[in-house]
């Protein structure tokens, strides 16, 4: 099958029930996508499938023929971080960092669908992504910053 990942095409023969998370991590060595539960409960493995956020641990690779996948490795362009990545750094929306790739992808998907999300939209958009370190307030802050809802000096 052919899989388009971060705008690069791959020829793959995944196992019939292989998850997209496993394909990305074990076959393509794109280990930025993390697996913390492998059963769709935590969101660490969130990637974009044709621009929509999905749990890659519950997505079967064989069902992604022809689809365009974006992982955390595909967000930044050479020399420039994605604005969400920049905001996560500036607002300290990162602690251990293990859930972070999934949080960033969920935030990117939310902002693509809702450029200026209100509080409840931020909550709903990110509520499928668990963080045990407790970065939620900072993530919400980072999303507000990217969507222009913060004064430039606020947030620190």
Partner 1 sequence: MAADPTRRFISTTVEVEGREETKIVELPARTLTPWDADARLEIVGTAQPRVDARDKVTGAAIYTTDRLPPGLLHVVLVRSRVPRGRVKSIDLEAARRMRGVVDTLVFDDLPKDGKPIRAGGVRFLDPDVTYAGQPIACVCAESAAQARAAAAAVRVEYESLPFATTAEWAVMEGAPPVRAKGGNVSRSSPCTCKRGDADRGLAEAEVIVRGRYTVSSALHTAMEPHGAVAEWTGDQLTIHEGTQGVFAVRDEVATALGIPKSHVRVVMDHMGGGFGAKNHAASHTYAAALLARRTGRPVRCVLDRAGEQMDTGHRPGARLDVTLGARRDGQLTAIVVEALSDQGVSGWDSATCKIFHELYACPNVRTVERWAYTNTQAMAAFRGPGHTEGAFALERAMDDLARELGMDPLALRLRNYAETDQEKSRPYSGGNLQRCLEEGAKRFGWEERHARSSGKLGSESNYRIAPELDQTQHAGNSTLTPISPAGGPPRWRKGFGLAAQIWPSGGGPPAYATVRIHPDGSVDVLTGTQDLGTGARTILAQVAAEALGARLQDVRVILGDTERTPYTPNSWGSLTTPSVAPAVRMAAEDARDDLLEAASEILGVPVEHLSTRNGMIVPCTGAEAVPISQITAQLGDVTIMGNGSRGPNQRGVGLMTFGAQFAEVDVDTWTGAVRVVRLTAVHDVGRVLNPLLARSQLEGGILQGIGYALYEERVVDERLGLPLNANLHDYKIPTMSDVPAIDASCLDVVDTVANPVGARGLAEAPIIPTAPAIANAVVDALGTTLNDLPLTPWRVLAAIEK
Residues that bind partner 1 (CB under 8 A): 15, 18, 22, 25-26, 29-39, 41-42, 44, 71-73, 75-76, 81, 85, 88-90, 92, 94-101, 104, 119-124, 126-127, 129-140, 156
> How far apart are CB 154 and partner 1 at their closest, in Å?
12
Q: Which is nearer to partner 1, 129 or 147 (CB)?
A: 129
Cβ proximity of 122 and 111 under 8 Å: no
> How far apart are CB 52 and partner 1 at their closest, in Å?
19
Identify the sign of the CA torsion 73, 75, 76, 78.
positive
What is the side-by-side order of every strand in the sheet holding 2-5?
8-11, 2-5, 68-70, 46-49, 52-55
| Neighbouring C-beta atoms of residue 109, cutoff 10 Å | 22
> How far apart are CB 103 and partner 1 at their closest, in Å?
9
Q: Which is nearer to partner 1, 50 or 127 (CB)?
A: 127
Q: Which is nearer to partner 1, 51 or 137 (CB)?
A: 137
Q: Which is nearer to partner 1, 66 or 78 (CB)?
A: 78
> How far apart are CB 152 and partner 1 at their closest, in Å?
15
> How far apart are CB 97 and partner 1 at their closest, in Å?
3
Pairwise CA distance, residues 104 & 99, whole Å: 9
CA-wise closest residue to 128 among 54, 64, 71, 49 = 54
Q: Which is nearer to partner 1, 43 or 66 (CB)?
A: 43
Pairwise CA distance, residues 56 & 117, whole Å: 24
């Amino acid at each position: 099958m052919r899989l388009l990942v971060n705008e690069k095409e791959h020829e793959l023969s995944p196992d019939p029930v292989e998850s997209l998370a496993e394909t990305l991590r074990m076959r393509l060595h794109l280990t930025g996508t993390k697996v913390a539960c492998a059963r769709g409960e935590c969101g660490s493995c969130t990637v974009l499938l044709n621009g929509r956020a999905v749990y890659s641990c519950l997505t079967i690779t064989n069902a992604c023929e022809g689809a365009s996948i974006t992982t955390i490795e595909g967000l930044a362009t050479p020399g420039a971080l994605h604005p969400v990545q920049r905001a996560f750094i500036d607002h300290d929306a990162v602690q251990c960092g293990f859930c972070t790739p999934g949080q960033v992808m969920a935030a990117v998907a939310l902002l693509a669908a809702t450029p200026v999300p209100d509080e409840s939209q931020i909550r709903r958009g990110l509520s499928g992504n668990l963080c045990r370190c407790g970065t939620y307030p900072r993530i919400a802050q980072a999303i507000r910053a990217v969507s222009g809802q913060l004064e430039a000096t606020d947030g620190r």
